[in-house]
């Protein structure tokens, strides 16, 4: 009998799935880490548990304290799950534009959700969270955008998993960046194992990584308004800037062709990976990440034409 009796056992250890429906040249293989298989449905469950575990171990919080965080939703769901495990209260500040499903799920897990105006972006949500921390006793902001434990999460979890899943046979890693934690931690781990591994970062059009001007985009979960201090640009072997239309086209394709119901950041990661594959030499193994599922975006018309 295989029994799991706490939430920690339902985070990580996700399948690495080979994408086979696209014709790739000469033994090039493409794999995706299926992060929607985490208990809260996204890659951010890893972050929620790691951040709060570290906060306890480093005596920043105690049982019963209040966690406050600015989040687009998936981090909130991950933190809300971890807060159940560690017996904490949670309040999230979320710009209004983010999907209603994610906000509903955060509330279902016991969180209070406060909305900030869409047009003021994540910066305003962070400001409001900081003001609340001043007012609420025994409160703590993990602040995924300025916390080295964010990339550390993936350095200690996703990085080793990817490496072990392919027995070290990886040539190129491709991942989207919202805070940049996933990319930074995983890329650092992989390059430490083998400095020849190339690590490609993915952003939507409207994100600032490749010097473009910040503007709104529909691809949800990735895209940077500023560069957190933990970002190490030496890890950017290439930057892929993917228009929304391409990301949404790919997520529809991958549903029909592979049976994978993934969100738009996965669509962008797939498009970038296919561009990488197009240029790669024979026998290259490419690994990417599908951060979450399309089911939390149905209200946004994710599958509409």
Ligand X SMILES: Cc1ncc(COP(=O)(O)O)c(C=O)c1O
Our finding on whether 147 is near ligand X (CB under 6 A) is no
Our finding on whether 241 is near ligand X (CB under 6 A) is no
CB of 291 to ligand X, least distance (A): 3
What six digits make up the tokens of 174?
């491709």
CB 220 within 8 A of CB 98: yes
CB of 181 to ligand X, least distance (A): 4
Our finding on whether 205 is near ligand X (CB under 6 A) is no
Our finding on whether 206 is near ligand X (CB under 6 A) is no
Strands 198-204 and 238-242: parallel
- Closer residue to ligand X in complex, CB, 65/250: 250
Near ligand X by CB under 6 A: residue from 159, 176, 206, 267: 176
Kindly determine how many residues on this chain lie close enough to bind ligand X according to the rule CB under 6 A.
Answer: 19
CB 40 within 8 A of CB 48: yes
Range 208-237, binding ligand X (CB under 6 A): 221-222
Find how far residue 266's CA is from the centre of its chain. 10
- Closer residue to ligand X in complex, CB, 28/223: 223
CB 279 within 8 A of CB 166: no
- Closer residue to ligand X in complex, CB, 163/183: 183
Q: Which residues of 214-231 are buried (b: 16+ CB within 10 A; e: fewer)?
A: eeebbbbbbbbeeebebb
Length of the chain, please? 305
Range 246-265, binding ligand X (CB under 6 A): 263, 265
Write the burial class of residue 197 (CB in 10 Å: 0-12 exposed, 13-18 middle, 19+ buried). Answer: buried
DSSP category for residue 61: -
**Distances from the Cα of 288 to the Cαs of 84, 126, 268, in angstroms?**
30, 29, 10
- 3-class secondary-structure state, position 239: strand
User: Could you confirm whether 218 is annotated as catalytic?
Assistant: no
Near ligand X by CB under 6 A: residue from 40, 41, 142, 178: 178
Range 275-294, binding ligand X (CB under 6 A): 291-292
CB of 178 to ligand X, least distance (A): 3
Our finding on whether 300 is near ligand X (CB under 6 A) is no
Residue pointed to by tokens 């970002």: 231
Our finding on whether 12 is near ligand X (CB under 6 A) is no
- 3-class secondary-structure state, position 79: helix
- Closer residue to ligand X in complex, CB, 28/80: 80
Please identify which of the residues 44, 102, 191, 198 carries the catalytic annotation.
44
41 to 80: interface string for ligand X, x by CB under 6 A:
-x-x---------------------------x-xx-----
Name the residue with the smallest CB distance to ligand X: 221
- 3-class secondary-structure state, position 176: strand
- Closer residue to ligand X in complex, CB, 103/179: 179
**Distances from the Cα of 46 to the Cαs of 53, 79, 129, 147, in angstroms?**
11, 9, 22, 14
Our finding on whether 158 is near ligand X (CB under 6 A) is no
Residues engaged in binding ligand X (CB under 6 A): 42, 44, 72, 74-75, 176-183, 221-222, 263, 265, 291-292
Residues with a catalytic annotation lie at 44
């Amino acid at each position: 009998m295989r029994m799991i009796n706490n939430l920690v056992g339902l985070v990580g250890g996700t399948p690495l799935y080979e994408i086979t429906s696209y014709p790739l040249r000469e033994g090039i293989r493409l794999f995706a880490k299926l992060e929607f298989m985490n208990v809260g449905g996204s890659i951010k469950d890893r972050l929620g548990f790691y951040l709060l575990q570290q906060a306890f171990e480093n005596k920043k919080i105690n049982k019963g304290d209040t966690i406050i965080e600015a989040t687009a939703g998936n981090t909130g769901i991950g933190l809300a799950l971890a807060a159940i495990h560690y017996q904490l209260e949670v309040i999230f500040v979320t710009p209004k534009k983010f999907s209603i499903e994610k906000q509903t799920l955060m509330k279902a897990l016991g969180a209070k959700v406060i909305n900030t105006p869409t047009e003021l972006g994540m910066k305003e949500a962070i400001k409001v969270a900081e003001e609340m921390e001043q007012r609420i006793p025994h409160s703590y902001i993990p602040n995924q955008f300025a916390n080295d434990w964010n990339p550390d999460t993936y350095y200690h979890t996703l990085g080793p998993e990817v490496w072990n899943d392919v027995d070290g046979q990886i040539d190129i890693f491709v991942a989207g960046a919202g805070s940049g934690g996933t990319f930074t931690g995983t890329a650092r781990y992989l390059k430490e194992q083998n400095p020849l591994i190339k690590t490609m970062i993915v952003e939507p059009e409207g994100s600032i990584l490749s010097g473009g001007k910040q503007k709104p985009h529909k691809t949800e979960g990735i895209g940077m308004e500023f560069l957190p201090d933990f970002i190490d640009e030496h890890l950017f072997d290439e930057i892929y800037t993917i228009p929304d239309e391409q990301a949404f086209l790919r997520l529809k394709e991958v549903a029909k062709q592979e049976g994978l119901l993934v969100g738009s950041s996965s669509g962008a990661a797939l498009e970038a990976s296919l561009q990488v594959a197009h240029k790669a030499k024979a026998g290259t193994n490419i690994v990417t990440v599908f951060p979450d599922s399309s089911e939390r975006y149905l209200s946004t018309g994710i599958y509409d034409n």
